[in-house]
Structure 1
Amino acid sequence: MTTVPASVPHTGDHLPAPPPMQPRRAAVAAAAGTAVEYYEFGVYGYLAVIIGPLFFPNDNPTASLLATLAVFGSAFVMRPLGGIVLGRLGDRVGRKPVLIATIVGMGTATAAVGLLPTAGSIGIAAPIALLLVRLAQGFFAGGEVTGSATYLSESAPAGRRGFFGAFTPVGVALGGGTAAVVAGITTTALTDDQLRDFGWRIPFLLALPLIAITLIARSKLEDSHAFVAETQQHAPAKSPLMEVLTEHTAAVFKVIFLSIGSNAGYWVGLIFMNIYLTTYLGYPKSNTFWIMGAISFFVAILMPFFGGLSDRVGRKKVITIGFLGYAILVLPAMIVMDQGSFALAVGAMVVLALPMPIVQSVTYPTYAEQFPTRVRYTGLSIAFNIGTIIGGGLTPYLATYLISRTDNLLAPGFLLMAAVVLALITLRTVRESAKETLQ
C-alpha cells in the first residue's frame, strides 16, 4: 500500500469525518443511478425473447435469441472505453460531474431503444440502429457503476465503507428487480400481439422518469470527501490510465478476475435464469418475471447487512462464503428447476440467489479499495469493465450457445462454477482491506 508521510493528511479514514448527511445522500444517489443502469440491462435481458424476432427475423427462434444476446453483449464491449474516458474525467475534474453525465447519457440511450423502428419497418437498418444505441448505452454505463463505487468508498465514514459501499449493488438489485416487475406487468396486461406491436417499448421508455429522479438526487451532492482532500494536497494525475497500467497492474488483474466471478453470479445466476426458466423449461413468462423481481428486492434488503458484516469480520471471509455458495448450489438448483413444478423452481431460484447479496455487497467496496484516490475512478473502471465483458456480456450468450451445442441444460451452471473458482483463486492474492485506510 502507498506510504504517505506523517505530515501529509491521508485521504480516507485519517481525514476529519465527512458531514453526517453526506454518506446517506451519497448512498441514495449512487444506488439510484446504478438502478437505472441495471434496469435497462435487466429489461433487455428479460424481453430478449420478445425483441429477438422483431429485430432479427429468423425461422429458428434460437438464432434470433442468440443475435439479440450478441447485441446485448455489444454494450459491454464499449464499457472499458467509456470507463477510460469517463474515469479519466472523474479523476481529473471530479466524481460528481461525471456521475451526472453518465446518468443522462445512459438513460437517454435506454429510452431511445423504446423508440426504434423494427425490422418489419426499415429492414436491416433496425438491428444496426439497435446496435448503435446499445453501444452508446454501454459507453456511459462504463463510468456509472464504477463511479458509484468510487464515490461511496470515498464518502463513507471510518470503518463503514463496507456498509455504505453495499448501496452500489443495492442499486443493481433494485434496477434488476424493477425491470422484472415492469416486464411482469407488461406481459400480464398485454396480449402477445400487443407486446410485439408496441408493448415491448413501454419498459424502455419508463427509464425517463427514473433519470429525472436520479438527476435531482445527484445535483444535491458535493464531490467526494477523499477526492476533495486529495486535490487540495496534490495536482490531479496527468495521465490516470498510464499511472494505473504502470503502477497498479496487479490491482487491475485482481479486480478483473474477481469481477468475472461476481458478474457471472449476477448475469447467469439471475438474468439468464429467466431465459432458462421460460425458454428452456417452459414456465410462464409473467410468473417468472414476478419471481425474479421479488428475489431482486429481497437480495437488495440483505446487502447492507453483509456489507456491514464485512466491516467487522473482513471482506475476504464474507466474499469466500458467497463464491463457495454459488459453486455448491448452482447445479442442484438447476436440476430442481427442471422437475416440472413451478413451485419447486421458485424455491430453487431463491436458494440459488442466496450467495448474490453476499458477493455483490462486499466485492464493490473491495474493488475500490485496491486503488489510490488519485486514480481510483480510472483503475476501477478499466478493471471492472473488462471483467464485466467476460462475466456479464458474454455469459448469457455463452450459456445459450452451450445449451444449443451440447443439449445439456446444466451447461450454464458449469460456466458459473468456472467463473467463481477463478475468483476464489484470485481472492487469495487480495489483501484484507476492511480495516485499512483508503490509499
Structure 2
Amino acid sequence: MANAATAELTRVRRRTAVAVGIGNFMEWFDFAVYGFFATTLGALYFPNDNAAISLLSSLAAFGVAFFMRPVGGFVLGSIGDRFGRRFALTLTVGMMGVTTTIVGLLPTYEQAGIIAPILLVLMRCLQGFSAGGEWTGSSAFLIEYVDAGRRGLFGSIISATAALATIAGSLIALGLNSWLTEAAFDSWGWRVPFLLAAPLGLIGLYIRLKIDETPVFQEIKEQKAVVANPLLTGSRDNFRAIVLTFFFASVQGLGFYYLATYVVTYLTTTVALQRTHALALVAAGLSFYALMCPVAGAVSDRFGRRPINVLGSLGLAVLVFPAFLLMSTGNSALVFLGIAVFAICQSMVSVTTVVMLTELFPAQTRGSGSALGFNLGLALIGGPGPFVAAAIATASDVRAMPAIYMVAVALAGFLVVLRWLPETRGRDLGMDAEAPRIGGRLRA
C-alpha cells in the first residue's frame, strides 16, 4: 500500500514538473522573442536616420516591460497567496499569449504613425505584468510539490525551459532570416514568432488547467490560514528576505537577459557578425546553459544553495569581462567559449534563485514576498540591462566594455549574498515552518 502511494506521489510530481516546464516554456518564448527582433522592430516602429538610436529605442521598449513586472508581481503574487498558485499561473500564461499575439498583428509606424509604437509599448507593458507573476509563481508551484532533497534538480526545470524557449525563438529567427528575403522579412516574416503565441498560449493554458493545486496551499486553505492582505503582511514580516531577494534576483535577471537577449545584439552590432551566424552561436551557447542547469541544481542539492549562489555570483563578477573579450574576437570557437563561461556561472545563480524564492519565504505570503523582491530586482537592474549595455557599446571604442554593467551588479550581489544569505537547503515549506534567519545559516 505504501509502495503504491509512493509511486502515485512520484507520478504526480513528474506530471507537475512537465506541466510547469511546458507552461514556463510557452510564457518565456513569448516574452523573449522580442529581443531577437529588436533591430527590425527598431526600424519599423522607431524609425530614425541613426540606426543606433532606432535600436536603443527598441531596447527601451523591451526594458519598459520590466517596470511593469513589480506591478504584476504585486497583483499576481497576492492572487497566488489568496486564491492558489494554479489560478495565478493560469492567468499569466493566458495574458502573455494574448498580448504577444497582438504584437504580431500591430501596424507599423509607416502604416499607422505614432499610434504604432504606443501600442507596441502598451503590449510590452502587459507582457511585463504577466511575467511579473510567472517566474516566482512557477517556482513556488513546482518546489512545493518536490521532496527536500531534489528541489534544486526539479527547480532547474524553470531555468532550463526559459533557456529552451529562448533557443526556440532564436532558431525561428535564424530560419526566417535564412529563408526569407530582407523585404519579405521586414514586411511579414518578423510577425511569425509573435503569432505563434496564439496556439502556444492555448496549449499552456490547457496544461495548467489540468494540474492540481499544491499540497502546501491546500493545507493553508484547509486550516483557514489564507492571509487577507498578503502583500502588506509579507512586506512587513519578510522585509529582510525581500531585500536579499532583490540583490540575488538582480544578478540572476541581468545575467539571463545579457545571455539570452543582449549577446545577439552585441555580436551583430558591435562585433559585426552576420545575424544568422550570431543567432546560431547564441542558440548553441543557450543549449549548453540549459544542460548546465540540472547539473547546478543537483550540486546545490548536495552542497547547499548558499555556496553555489555565492560561487556563481563571484564567477560572473570575475569572468564576464574575459568572456566578452573572447566574444569580441568574432572567432566562432572563442565566441562559443565566451558564452559557455558566462553560462556556467549563470546556471549556478539562476537555479539557486529559483529554489530560494520558495525556501526563503513563509507559505502564506510566499507568492507576494518573493514576487516583490524578484521583480523589483529585474525592473530596476535586470530589465534595463540590454539597453544599458547597448548604450555603453555605442559610447565606447572598447568592444568588451558592455560587460562592465554585468560585472558591477554581480560584484554587488556577491558581497550581499556572501554576508547575509542563509542556507535554506532542506527547509520545511509548510505553513507552520520557521522562516530562515537572514544573516546566519539555517541548519538543514
Into which bin does the TM-score normalised by the smaller protein fall?
over 0.9
Counterpart-to-counterpart distance in 1, 2:341 and 2:270: 20
Letter in 2 for 1:19: L
Q: After the TM superposition, which residues 75-90 of structure 1 pair with which residues of structure 2 at under 5 Å, given as runs?
A: 75-90=65-80
In structure 1, what is the equivalent of residue 3 of structure 2? none
Matched, 1:226 2:226: no
Counterpart-to-counterpart distance in 1, 2:70 and 2:8: 31
Matched, 1:435 2:432: no
Superposed CA deviations along residues 95-117 of structure 1, whole A, max 9, x for unmatched, are 11111111010111111111100
Distance apart, 1:17 and its partner CA: 11
Counterpart-to-counterpart distance in 2, 1:392 and 1:406: 21
In structure 2, what is the equivalent of residue 122 of structure 1? 112
Superposed CA deviations along residues 289-321 of structure 1, whole A, max 9, x for unmatched, are 122222222322221222122111111111122
Counterpart-to-counterpart distance in 2, 1:410 and 1:37: 31
Contact 2:319 2:342 in 1 (8 A): yes
In structure 2, what is the equivalent of residue 7 of structure 1? none
Secondary structure of 1:91's counterpart equals: helix
In structure 2, what is the equivalent of residue 207 of structure 1? 197
- Cα separation, partners in 2 of 1:340 and 1:302, compared to 1, 3 Å: closer
Distance apart, 1:174 and its partner CA: 1.2
Distance apart, 1:351 and its partner CA: 2.6
In structure 2, what is the equivalent of residue 28 of structure 1? 18
Contact 2:285 2:336 in 1 (8 A): no
Counterpart-to-counterpart distance in 1, 2:85 and 2:348: 27
- Cα separation, partners in 2 of 1:341 and 1:294, compared to 1, 3 Å: closer
Counterpart-to-counterpart distance in 1, 2:296 and 2:325: 28
Contact 1:260 1:387 in 2 (8 A): yes
Secondary structure of 1:433's counterpart equals: coil
Counterpart-to-counterpart distance in 2, 1:59 and 1:265: 31
Superposed CA deviations along residues 183-241 of structure 1, whole A, max 9, x for unmatched, are 11111111111111111101111122222222232122100111111222242101101
Contact 1:268 1:412 in 2 (8 A): no
Letter in 2 for 1:239: N
Counterpart-to-counterpart distance in 2, 1:404 and 1:195: 26
Aligned pair partner of 1:341 in 317, 331, 334: 331
Matched, 1:317 2:307: yes
Distance apart, 1:347 and its partner CA: 2.8
Q: After the TM superposition, which residues 20-59 of structure 1 pair with which residues of structure 2 at under 5 Å, given as runs?
A: 20-59=10-49
Matched, 1:407 2:372: no
Distance apart, 1:83 and its partner CA: 1.0
In structure 1, what is the equivalent of residue 368 of structure 2? 378
Distance apart, 1:125 and its partner CA: 0.7
Distance apart, 1:18 and its partner CA: 8.4
Contact 2:281 2:332 in 1 (8 A): no
In structure 1, what is the equivalent of residue 296 of structure 2? 306
Counterpart-to-counterpart distance in 1, 2:334 and 2:150: 38
Counterpart-to-counterpart distance in 2, 1:334 and 1:132: 33
Contact 2:148 2:427 in 1 (8 A): no
Distance apart, 1:392 and its partner CA: 2.4
Q: After the TM superposition, which residues 220-369 of structure 1 pair with which residues of structure 2 at under 5 Å, given as runs?
A: 220-369=210-359
Secondary structure of 1:45's counterpart equals: helix
In structure 2, what is the equivalent of residue 102 of structure 1? 92
Counterpart-to-counterpart distance in 2, 1:41 and 1:342: 27
Matched, 1:421 2:411: yes
Distance apart, 1:346 and its partner CA: 2.6
Secondary structure of 2:55's counterpart equals: helix
Counterpart-to-counterpart distance in 2, 1:433 and 1:38: 27
Report the TM-score, using the length of structure 2 for normalisation.
Answer: 0.92
Let me know the Cα RMSD of the aligned residues. 1.7
In structure 1, what is the equivalent of residue 437 of structure 2? none
Contact 2:292 2:344 in 1 (8 A): no
In structure 1, what is the equivalent of residue 158 of structure 2? 168
Identity of aligned residues (%): 36
Distance apart, 1:337 and its partner CA: 2.1
Letter in 2 for 1:117: P
Letter in 2 for 1:298: F
Contact 2:140 2:358 in 1 (8 A): yes
In structure 1, what is the equivalent of residue 442 of structure 2? none
Counterpart-to-counterpart distance in 2, 1:275 and 1:181: 15
Letter in 1 for 2:426: K
Counterpart-to-counterpart distance in 2, 1:251 and 1:340: 42
| Structure 2 unaligned spans of 5+ | 1-5, 434-444
In structure 2, what is the equivalent of residue 11 of structure 1? none
Counterpart-to-counterpart distance in 2, 1:77 and 1:232: 36
Distance apart, 1:37 and its partner CA: 2.7
| Structure 1 unaligned spans of 5+ | 1-15
Distance apart, 1:402 and its partner CA: 1.8
Contact 1:270 1:353 in 2 (8 A): no
Secondary structure of 1:166's counterpart equals: helix
Over 3 Å off, 4+ runs: none
Aligned residue pairs total 424
Secondary structure of 2:120's counterpart equals: helix
Counterpart-to-counterpart distance in 2, 1:345 and 1:312: 32
Contact 2:271 2:399 in 1 (8 A): no
Secondary structure of 2:177's counterpart equals: helix
Superposed CA deviations along residues 242-287 of structure 1, whole A, max 9, x for unmatched, are 1111111000000011000111111123421111101111101112
- Cα separation, partners in 2 of 1:126 and 1:208, compared to 1, 3 Å: same
Report the TM-score, using the length of structure 1 for normalisation.
Answer: 0.93
Counterpart-to-counterpart distance in 2, 1:38 and 1:165: 16
